[in-house]
């Protein structure tokens, strides 16, 4: 298992969190994906962690273990908001993680995540969104293909 995966999946591992918090304290400048190995690793760890926030079950896991009660962790979540900037967001595979990151800024949302039913509801809503998005995108692509075909036949 990669160190990145360990940060997201380990039950007891907070070393990744501590490392990231220390890096943030030491360097308050914007994080850039440079060629430097340390910066690249930090970029990958933070990218992986931010994307893990798209998983409601992982959020439930964090809430049940009290991470959201830790002020340092909440501050770290606030620090991660830089991922909303286009220069960083372009690296995300799961853009819904940004919405979850935004919601995690609110104490009420963090408290509700302790409830497994809340995580289940969010999970179901994400699935419904993906299904609707997929169908809508397929219809738009079909309409575009038909329009292009009509344009090609009318030109001849």
Q: What is the pLDDT of residues 119-141, one digit of tens each?
A: 888 888 887 877 776 677 788 88
Q: What is the pLDDT of residues 71-124, one digit of tens each?
A: 999 999 999 999 999 999 999 998 899 999 999 999 999 999 998 888 888 888
Q: What is the pLDDT of residues 8-35, one digit of tens each?
A: 443 333 344 544 444 444 444 455 545 5
- At which residue do the structure tokens 């930090």 appear? 42
Provide the b/e sequence for 36-62 (b: ≥16 CB within 10 Å).
eeeeeebbbbbbbbbbbbbbbebbbbb
Which stretches within 27-115 are classed as H helix?
37-52, 56-64, 71-79, 86-89, 96-103, 107-112
| pTM reported for the whole predicted model | 0.61
Q: In the predicted model, what is the mean pLDDT of residues 41-47?
A: 94
């Amino acid at each position: 298992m990669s160190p990145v995966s360990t940060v997201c999946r380990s039950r007891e591992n907070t070393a990744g969190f501590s490392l990231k918090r220390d890096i943030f304290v030491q360097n308050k400048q914007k994080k850039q994906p440079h060629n430097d190995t340390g910066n690249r690793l930090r970029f990958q760890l933070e990218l992986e962690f931010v994307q893990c926030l798209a998983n409601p079950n992982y959020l439930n896991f964090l809430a049940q273990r009290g991470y959201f009660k830790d002020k340092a962790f909440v501050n770290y979540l606030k620090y991660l908001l830089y991922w909303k900037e286009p220069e960083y967001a372009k690296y995300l595979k799961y853009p819904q993680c940004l919405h979850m990151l935004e919601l995690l800024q609110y104490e009420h949302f963090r408290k509700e995540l302790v409830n497994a039913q809340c995580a289940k509801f969010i999970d179901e809503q994400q699935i419904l969104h993906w299904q609707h998005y997929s169908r809508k995108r397929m219809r738009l692509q079909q309409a575009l293909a038909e329009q292009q075909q009509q344009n090609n036949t009318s030109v001849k």
